Amino acid sequence: MHVIAFASQKGGSGKTTLAGHISVEAERAGFGSVALIDTDPQGSLADWWNVREVDTPFFVKTTRESLPDDLISLAEAGVDLVVIDTPPAITDTIHHVIQVADLVVIPTRPSPHDLRAAGATVAICTEAGKPLVFALNGASPRARITTEAAIALSQHGPVAPAILHQRVDFASSMIDGRTVMELPGKSRSPGEVSELWRFLQDRLEGTVTNPFTRVDRLSMLAG
């Protein structure tokens, strides 16, 4: 089982949207059984899931204290991927989630404020020894600042080659529990999500370096 955490100090970075989209795309691409966890007190990801017309990915309610034990249960039940959304602030919860993650995705909009805010999340990942990637989100097509943002972020970690651009379909799909992959019509958005997932999958499959099993590691954290 793999665990992806979407984390960013900056509100409005698109964490919830990306968490929902990547969880759906992972199942659509045949990665296996996917579970969602929402640790943000605002509960936006939970709200999105509650209005979905399908039951997958399935949703898991947990607390900060019970998270390691719940992940052990999911691993033993044969879940392949857990996607965790986090609060839009540097809190104890984010520290806790990053500790149990295999990969941390930091959604970042190409703006000076977002670039500056990314540093706090990078510091937590570095301290915890967790791999991270940046995902540029909400970009304007052919905008120079997008390229500049990618260059700036690359000084601190890998940047996903897939750039998610600002389009209405991302926001509108989340209203009724869907994703851009599940909307009718033609758009470039589904292709961007698919490309991002393929990149994340490659990163995940390269993180299996710990000699302990996931259950062993989580048991140590839970204990």
In this prediction, residues 25-36 reach a mean pLDDT of 97
Alpha carbon distance 32, 185 (integer Å): 27
Distances (CA, A) of 192 to 69, 118, 138: 34, 22, 12
Mean pLDDT of the chain: 91
In this prediction, residues 95-119 reach a mean pLDDT of 93
SS3 for the chain is CEEEEECCCCCCCCHHHHHHHHHHHHHHCCCCCEEEEECCCCCHHHHHHHCCCCCCCEECCCCCCCHHHHHHHHHHCCCCEEEEECCCCCCHHHHHHHHHCCEEEEEECCCHHHHHHHHHHHHHHHHHCCCEEEEEEEECCCCHHHHHHHHHHCCCCCECCCCEECCHHHHHHHHCCCCHHHCCCCCCHHHHHHHHHHHHHHHHHCCCCCCCCHHHHHHHHHC
Alpha carbon distance 147, 199 (integer Å): 19
In this prediction, residues 20-35 reach a mean pLDDT of 97
Alpha carbon distance 131, 6 (integer Å): 12
Confidence class of residue 185 from pLDDT cuts 50, 70 and 90?
Answer: confident
Query: Percentage of residues in the chain with pLDDT exceeding 90?
Result: 80
Alpha carbon distance 88, 16 (integer Å): 10
pLDDT tens readout for residues 41-80: 999 999 999 999 999 999 999 998 899 999 999 999 999 9
Q: What pLDDT, on the 0 to 100 scale, is given for residue 212?
A: 43
Alpha carbon distance 217, 129 (integer Å): 14
- pTM score: 0.91
List domains and CATH numbers for the chain: 2-208 (3.40.50.300)
pLDDT tens readout for residues 202-221: 999 886 444 345 556 565 55
